[in-house]
Amino acid sequence: MKNPILVLTLLMTTTSLASAETLRWARSGDALTLDPHSQNEGPTHTVRHQMYEPLIIRDTSGAFEPALATDWAPSESDPNVWVFNLRQGVKFHDGADFTAEDVVFSINRAKQPNSDMKELINSIVEVRAVDDHTIEIETDGPNPILPANLTDLFIMDKGWTEANNAVNVQDFEGGEITFATVNVNGTGPYKLVSREPDVKTVMERNEDYWGRDQFPMAISEIIYTPIQNDATRVAAMLSGEVNFLQDMPVQDLDRVNAVDGLVVKQAPQNRVIFFGMNQGADDIEADNVDGKNPLADVRVRRAMSKAINRDAIQQVVMRGQSQPAGMIAPPFVNGWTAEMDSESGTDVEGAKALLAEAGYPDGFSIRLDCPNDRYINDEGICQAAVGMLGQIGITVNLDAKPKAQHFPLITDGKTDFYMLGWGVPTYDSEYIFNFLVHGRESDIGTWNGTGYDNDELDAKIKSLASNTDLVARDQAIAEIWRVVQDEQLYIPIHHQVLNWGMAENLDINVDPEDQPMVKHFGLN
């Protein structure tokens, strides 16, 4: 953990002379990398969205908004093809022209094995440049939701990437550092000035941005500083050294709101927090049960879910700033139902009975892997879960660490019991199923740390991408969710609520994706 005094000193020495047009932005964690296709992670996308752009983005209501594509539609001659018309007159930060060639290159790059974006585009079989400002994307069957999968798919300059030996996506899990990891040449509204991972990232307004006159773009400079310690983050805001704060600690909401010149804005987030369990292994390393895996028994998984008191976590840990969840889909998502979202209740005695029935009347011990700088009160939630599981005889040893060390445990299959949060930028259940339910393959299921693998269910998940009968598609989604719920693949905890702290002169709408687009910021 960083020294809080050193972090605050750094903030004071680097931002005290900043003008009113400087956004002094802090949150608990940094972007994992600047490589556009390496990591599919919220804060990482957020930083990159200021400098890189996709073909399509969403506004704060969740509606599509043109970015590098001005319009898009299925081909009139081939139902397997989408046609995108690209914005003309756009230049990359180094002055190079943006063309269809860059889009073809970027989508193909994002399909590489090291890309964490490949699940989103695994239905794409070919990307073609029709001319400099038109592309065709062919999929392996009609794909009605393809545009929804492109909102975080950033476009790189083909020439710049090739010239700097960055054609291959960074091997993040392997610890690789490439030119694209710490350098940027995008088309976005802000240019990279300097990058010190886990310390500070500075960006400046792109005066040649294609949308310079279409968006407020009142911020001329962005100084983004990750501050893991809650107290230090809030102290920086109260002292005026930070004027925009994500990841506002729930215990400090009233305190910040009471300060003249500061305000806290709130909105429900398109994200759910949950625990995953390795149920696929015959034996696991993180427990004290020799020769078998207690998590492989659905009765154990259900018992663990029944032990979690979501209302207590909401009231005590989250200070009311959460919504207890019964499924791992946020209410924003197609496929969510109020009925399924109310299925997870607390029943300690029932949980003990299930454990005894499964052959563990005295419980067992297990390690819980938890991040401590990614989600709101993530370590606090895990600590509460330790006590709750202890009430039914399960001794939990908590291992909390920064997200940069935590996430590879899941993607590399090195954790048996873990916390994860999931946002759904496509607003559709297929996104959840592709990453978290489908069996793990080279291009799908990469965040499924449960070991669950059901060939019949996998086939149904894959069919969703090409099912144009929306009634039948929704029925298939409901059937998949029923399996996920009945098998207790995950233990849902809650839907997050966003609280952004800011100087009252900042004109900002809270984004349910928790991805502020600084080009939309105004000044009052």
Q: How confident is the model at residue 118 (pLDDT cuts 50, 70, 90)?
A: very high
Quick one: average pLDDT of 289-309? Answer: 98
Quick one: average pLDDT of 421-428? Answer: 96
pLDDT of residue 20: 55
pLDDT digits (tens, 9 = 90+) for 28-76: 999 999 999 999 999 999 999 999 999 999 988 888 999 999 999 999 9
Instruction: Say how many CA atoms lie within 13 Å of 388 toward its Cβ.
Output: 24
pLDDT of residue 9: 42
With contact defined as beta carbons under 8 Å apart, do 353 and 300 qualify? Answer: no
pLDDT of residue 443: 81
Q: What backbone torsions phi and psi does residue 260 show, to the nearest 5 degrees?
A: -60, 130
pLDDT of residue 59: 86
Q: Which amino acid is at 509?
A: N
pLDDT digits (tens, 9 = 90+) for 320-349: 999 999 999 999 999 999 999 999 999 999
pLDDT of residue 8: 44
With contact defined as beta carbons under 8 Å apart, do 483 and 454 qualify? Answer: yes
pLDDT digits (tens, 9 = 90+) for 75-108: 999 999 999 999 999 999 999 999 999 999 999 9
| Alpha-carbon span 43 to 516, nearest angstrom | 10
Q: Which amino acid is at 514?
A: D
All domains of the chain, ordered by start, with CATH? 4-52+165-268+499-523 (3.40.190.10), 56-161 (3.90.76.10), 269-497 (3.10.105.10)
pLDDT of residue 363: 97
Quick one: average pLDDT of 443-464? Answer: 95
pLDDT of residue 276: 98
- The answer on pLDDT for 5 being more than 50 is no
With 0-12 / 13-18 / 19 or more C-beta atoms within 10 angstroms meaning exposed / middle / buried, residue 268 is middle
- The answer on pLDDT for 16 being more than 80 is no
pLDDT digits (tens, 9 = 90+) for 306-321: 999 999 999 999 999 9
Q: Return the beta strands (E) in 170-321 as ranges.
A: 190-196, 200-205, 221-226, 244-245, 262-277
Quick one: average pLDDT of 470-474? Answer: 95
pLDDT of residue 7: 44
Report DSSP state, residue 326.
S
pLDDT of residue 67: 98
423, β-bridge pairs: 271
Q: What percent of the chain has pLDDT over 70?
A: 96
SS3 481: helix
Whole-structure pTM value: 0.89
pLDDT of residue 478: 98
pLDDT of residue 13: 39
> Distance of CA 197 to CAs 130, 179, 234, 408, Å?
39, 14, 21, 18
First to last CA, the chain: 36
pLDDT of residue 440: 94
- The answer on pLDDT for 4 being more than 70 is no
Choice among 2-11, 142-151, 487-496 with the minimum mean pLDDT: 2-11
With contact defined as beta carbons under 8 Å apart, do 394 and 116 qualify? Answer: no
With contact defined as beta carbons under 8 Å apart, do 173 and 411 qualify? Answer: yes
pLDDT of residue 442: 79
| Alpha-carbon span 447 to 440, nearest angstrom | 8
Chain-wide mean pLDDT for the chain? 94
Quick one: average pLDDT of 14-26? Answer: 67
pLDDT digits (tens, 9 = 90+) for 236-260: 999 999 999 999 999 999 999 999 9
pLDDT of residue 62: 84
Closest CA to 135 of 107, 111, 162, 103: 103
